[in-house]
Chains A and B, each alone.
Chain A
Amino acid sequence: MRTENQKAWFFVLPVLALVAFNALVPMMTVVNYSVQETFGNNQFFWEGLGWFEQILRSDRFQAALGRQFLFTFLILLIEVPLGIIVALSMPRKGFWVPVCLVLMALPMLIPWNVVGSMWNIFTLPKIGLLGYFLNDVLGINYDMTQQPLSAWITVVVMDVWHWTSLVVLLCYAGLVSIPDAYYQAAKIDGASPWSVFRYIQLPKMKTVLTIAVLLRFMDSFNIYTEPFVLTGGGPGNSTTLLSIDLVKIALGQFDLGPAAAMSLIYFAITLLVSWVFYTLMTKDDAQ
């Protein structure tokens, strides 16, 4: 017997209204700006897709996008394997488990701008502990305020310091859910440590690893506060990532049209790459 009716839709309405109020409508104003030119006084002129074309063709945007991809690529390349290694070497039971977990969680509890300030002070060449140590004790010429390479290394290391824990904790959660019998069976089957990792631990971590990669991708791709506080995008434009550039255009130059178009492109890229990641990482499960 069919007992279907359409009543359920009414229950969704409040949520829909709320989401429309706080997300869809503001989003639409961005869309609105992105296709118009304004000179203040609430006067708008139709621009069509002009801003989009201008942004996509501009060297400045392409350079920032390139830096953004490089940054995200680097931190994923470091944080994911490092996170897995740290998770594998953490104890499974006993006194040290809570100690390790708290230590791992600590960096993530520090507010983003504080992390930026900490690393700024830590790495300043003359007065920072690390900066002093590198320059005056080890004799390495390091200055993140002057040298693009130093700045890049600092920004990447800071992110690794701040967010590897997230990968660690997610992987650890996946690891502790593996029953002992799996390890015992592997021992009896004569499996090598690599086989244990490849056929037991990695498959069991896959779901959480997918989440970890997605979260780290989205967060790092949209990162703003930490590099802004640390380097302000410099020296020059060398660490100006997409979000930093976007804020410069929107609030520094007050070019609302191009900024709106850039936001939408930025959003579309984030969405697209997340979707590709997700599809690739979960495609085996469908079989």
Chain B
Amino acid sequence: MAQIKLSNLRHSYMPAPKGPEDYALKEIDVTWRDGGAYALLGPSGCGKSTLLNIISGLLTPSEGQILFDDRDVTALPPDQRNIAQVFQFPVIYDTMTVGENLAFPLKNRGVDPATIKRRVDEIAEMLDVTDMLSTRASGLSPDNKQKISMGRGLVRDDVNAVMFDEPLTVIDPHLKWKLRSKLKELHQRVKATMIYVTHDQTEALTFADEVVVMQEGEVVQIGTPVELFDRPQHTFVGHFIGSPGMNVLPCEAKGDRAVFEGHEVMLEGPTHGDGGRTDLGIRPEYVGFGDTGIPAHVTKVSDIGRHYVVSAMVGNTALKAVTEHSVPEPGSQVYLQFKPEQSRVYRDGWIATEERS
């Protein structure tokens, strides 16, 4: 087990990258605590799988270093880094039994048979696959195959980190939930550093203690699920996390107020910086209805079970609000109230207001 530190990491798939647009990863500086559960969250093509492959050693970065407990492992091949990786599609050795599959990484490292047996039994018990140990692995269902792939990673007790590359993609929805809680449980039992790559916010937020949100090869925010939800550092985070995502409304910034479609909105605190494009960011959860406020025209109301999502137009700008009761009729005129401590201004995408202490 180890602390993982990425320092000034950059990677390009091109032999001679010129501008920043040629880089799949631009300037990554992250430190991951020993034994933590982390998620790398971002849309397809944001560089999260590249980053994962660099950590596991399948790729060598163009620039920068990877440190495991301050030991530079940048040049080491995967099998010498003591990491485990679970792939999107379950990788199992078809001709072997479940037990042989689990024993394979240990056998390759010349571990003695008694230890192999003990570790395999332990892991099989943890994964609830003890009764399958002597069956051929090729006939298993996708979720069991994925469990075996995980097991091959966990069977070694010297793993520095276990990495998951969208491991639940091919799993049926009703089993996803089960496998996810299994993972969480495993993390608590084996205490290895776990890094989980996904584009699914639910998976990321339920699995991880801390989520790293990536966009176009950059880390835009690192935080606990609550931090990401409550105070997104970037409009991308606000929009990507949450359902529906944060409203990003073009506005003008004036001190601790924003002017949006001619209406003044109180912000969480004073804005800083100037120039650039300014947007008002507020989550639909913090948009309320009242007798006074910003006049809006309701265009659509969707019942999504737990609550209602109200789509409305303020002038020419569309926004969404979430409410549990007092649902307005589509077509009606309403007054919206923005919660000041949850209203922020973003300058060129990045947060530009200070929290009032």
User: A interface vs B, CB < 8 Å?
Assistant: 179, 181-182, 184-185, 187-192, 195, 199-200, 203-204, 284, 287
If A190-B79, A199-B96, A287-B136 touch, does A185 touch B108 (CB 8 Å cutoff)? no
Q: Chain B contacts of A191 at CB under 8 A?
A: 104, 108
What total of A-B pairs shows CB separation below 8 Å? Answer: 55
Chain B residues lying within 8 Å of A199, measured Cβ to Cβ, are 93, 95-96, 104
Instruction: Given A199-B95, A203-B94, check contact A192 B108 (CB 8 Å).
Output: yes
Main secondary structure of the interface of A (DSSP, over half): helix
Q: A199-B95, A199-B96, A203-B95 are in contact. Are A187 and B77 (CB under 8 A)?
A: yes
Give the nearest-CB partner of B139 in chain A.
A287
Verify A184–B87 contact, CB threshold 8 A. Answer: yes
Is residue B152 contacting chain A, with contact meaning CB distance below 8 A? yes
19 A–B contacts, CB within 8 A, in A order:
A181-B89, A181-B91, A182-B91, A184-B56, A184-B78, A187-B77, A188-B58, A188-B153, A189-B104, A189-B105, A190-B79, A190-B105, A190-B108, A190-B109, A191-B104, A192-B108, A199-B93, A204-B94, A287-B136
Contact A181/B108 with A188-B79, A199-B96, A203-B94 known, Cβ cut-off 8 Å: no
Please report the C-alpha to C-alpha distance between residue A199 and residue B152 in the assembled complex, in whole angstroms.
Answer: 15
Cα distance A182–B105 in the bound complex, in angstroms: 14
Does A188 contact B84, Cβ atoms closer than 8 Å?
yes
Given contacts A190-B79, A191-B104, A191-B108, contact A185 B85 (CB under 8 A): yes
Write out the residue numbers on chain A whose beta carbons fall within 8 Å of the beta carbon of B94: 203-204
Q: Write out the residue numbers on chain A whose beta carbons fall within 8 Å of the beta carbon of B136.
A: 287
- Select from chain A the residue with minimum beta-carbon distance to B105: A189
Contact A187 B95 (CB under 8 A): no
Whether, in the assembled complex, B336 has its beta carbon less than 8 Å from a beta carbon of chain A, the answer is no
A135, B83: Cα distance in complex, Å: 60
Bound-state CA distance A39–B125 (Å) is 81
Q: A233 to B203: give the CA distance in the assembly, Å.
A: 72
A200-B92 Cα distance, complex, nearest whole Å: 9
A185 to B53, CA, bound (A): 11
A188-B56, A190-B108, A190-B109 known; A181 vs B87 contact (CB < 8 Å): yes
* Bound CA–CA A287/B93 (angstroms): 16
Q: A187-B78, A199-B104 are in contact. List 6 more A-B contacts (CB 8 A).
A: A179-B91, A181-B87, A184-B53, A188-B58, A189-B105, A204-B94
Give chain B's interface secondary structure class.
Answer: mixed
Give the one of B88, B91, B149 with max A CB within 10 A.
B91
Among residues 130 to 154 in chain B, which have CB atoms less than 8 Å away from a CB atom of chain A?
136, 149, 152-153
A-facing residues in B37-58 (Cβ within 8 Å): 53, 56, 58
**B301 nearest CB across to chain A (Å):** 44
Whether the pair A187, B79 counts as a contact (CB closer than 8 A) is yes
How far apart are A93's CB and chain B's nearest CB, in angstroms? 13
A287 and B134 alpha carbons, distance in the complex (Å)? 13
Pairs of residues from A and B, 8 with the lowest C-beta to C-beta distance, nearest first? A190-B108, A185-B91, A181-B87, A190-B79, A189-B105, A199-B93, A187-B78, A188-B78
Nearest-neighbour CB distance to chain B for A39, whole angstroms, equals: 61
Report the nearest B residue to A179, measured CB to CB: B89
- Measured in the bound complex, the distance between the Cα atoms of B85 and A195 in whole Å is 19
Select from chain A the residue with minimum beta-carbon distance to B80.
A190
CB within 8 Å of A: which B69-116 residues: 77-79, 83-85, 87-89, 91, 93-96, 104-105, 108-109
Q: Within the assembled complex, what's the spacing in Å between the Cα atoms of A184 and B105?
A: 13
When chains A and B are docked, how far (Å) is the Cα of A126 from the Cα of B43? 71
| Residue from B78, B152, B153 having most chain A Cβ neighbours under 10 A | B78
Write the nearest CB–CB distance from B135 to chain A, whole angstroms. 10
Distance in Å from the Cβ of B161 to the closest Cβ of chain A?
A: 11
When C-beta atoms are compared, the residue in chain B nearest to A198 turns out to be B95
B283 to chain A, nearest CB (A): 37
Chain A min CB distance to B100 (Å) = 9
For B96, what are the chain A residues with a Cβ–Cβ distance below 8 Å? 199
Closest to B153 in A: A188
A184 to B83, CA, bound (A): 12
Most chain B C-beta atoms within 10 Å of own C-beta, residue among A195, A199, A204: A199
B95 and A181: CB pair below 8 A? no
Interface centre among B79, B87, B93 (most CB of A within 10 A): B93
Most buried by B among A185, A195, A199, A203: A185
B88–A181 CB distance below 8 A: yes
Say yes or no: A200 contacts B93, CB within 8 Å.
yes
A189 touches B152 (CB 8 A): yes
